[in-house]
């Protein structure tokens, strides 16, 4: 199983960026997917999650209204559209997969029940 995140980069505050995470070796449509991030010197934190069908999404308060998570099950890919980026959004962004049959938005939000983690992609927002 492999989760490969991509699309990170160095951007200025206020612009948009979309990161993607492609999955292989797993029945993608059976997994709740999520994005987490870890800034230097800080613990990894939940950003957003999406149900296996894409019908339900959840966001951390810090990104609500600015970030949008989506998925394309035909492409085995989950996306995170990040708008109005701020310097405090600077972090390594990781995607994660949790089996839908034993995960809830709450468990994923707390980082529990996750079977697979991607390697992460760096997002740096300059002021």
pLDDT digits (tens, 9 = 90+) for 45-76: 999 999 999 999 999 999 999 999 999 999 99
Provide, rounded to the nearest whole percent, the portion of the chain with pLDDT above 70.
100
What local confidence, expressed as pLDDT, does residue 31 receive? 97
What local confidence, expressed as pLDDT, does residue 25 receive? 93
What local confidence, expressed as pLDDT, does residue 18 receive? 98
What local confidence, expressed as pLDDT, does residue 61 receive? 97
Q: How many angstroms separate the CA atoms of 81 and 89, rounded?
A: 13
Q: How many angstroms separate the CA atoms of 74 and 17, rounded?
A: 22
The pLDDT confidence band at residue 1, using thresholds 50, 70 and 90, is confident
Sign of CA dihedral 72, 74, 9, 118: positive
pLDDT at residue 100 greater than cutoff 90: yes
Q: What is the mean pLDDT of residues 76-100?
A: 97
| Pure H helices in 16-124 | 105-109
What is the Rg, in whole angstroms, of the alpha carbon atoms belonging to the chain? Answer: 13
Q: How many angstroms separate the CA atoms of 124 and 107, rounded?
A: 28
- Cα–Cα–Cα angle for 109, 34, 2, nearest 5°? 130
What local confidence, expressed as pLDDT, does residue 36 receive? 98
What local confidence, expressed as pLDDT, does residue 39 receive? 97
């Amino acid at each position: 199983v492999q989760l490969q995140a991509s699309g990170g980069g160095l951007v200025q505050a206020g612009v948009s960026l979309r990161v993607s995470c492609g999955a292989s070796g797993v029945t993608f449509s059976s997994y709740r997917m999520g994005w987490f991030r870890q800034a230097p010197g800080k613990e990894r934190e939940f950003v957003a999650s999406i149900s296996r069908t894409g019908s339900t999404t959840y966001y951390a308060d810090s990104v609500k209204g600015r970030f949008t998570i989506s998925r394309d099950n035909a492409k085995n890919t989950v996306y995170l559209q990040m708008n109005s980026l701020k310097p405090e959004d600077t972090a390594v962004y990781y995607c994660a997969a949790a089996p839908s049959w034993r995960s809830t938005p709450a468990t994923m939000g707390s980082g529990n029940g996750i079977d697979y983690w991607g390697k992460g992609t760096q997002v740096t927002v300059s002021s």
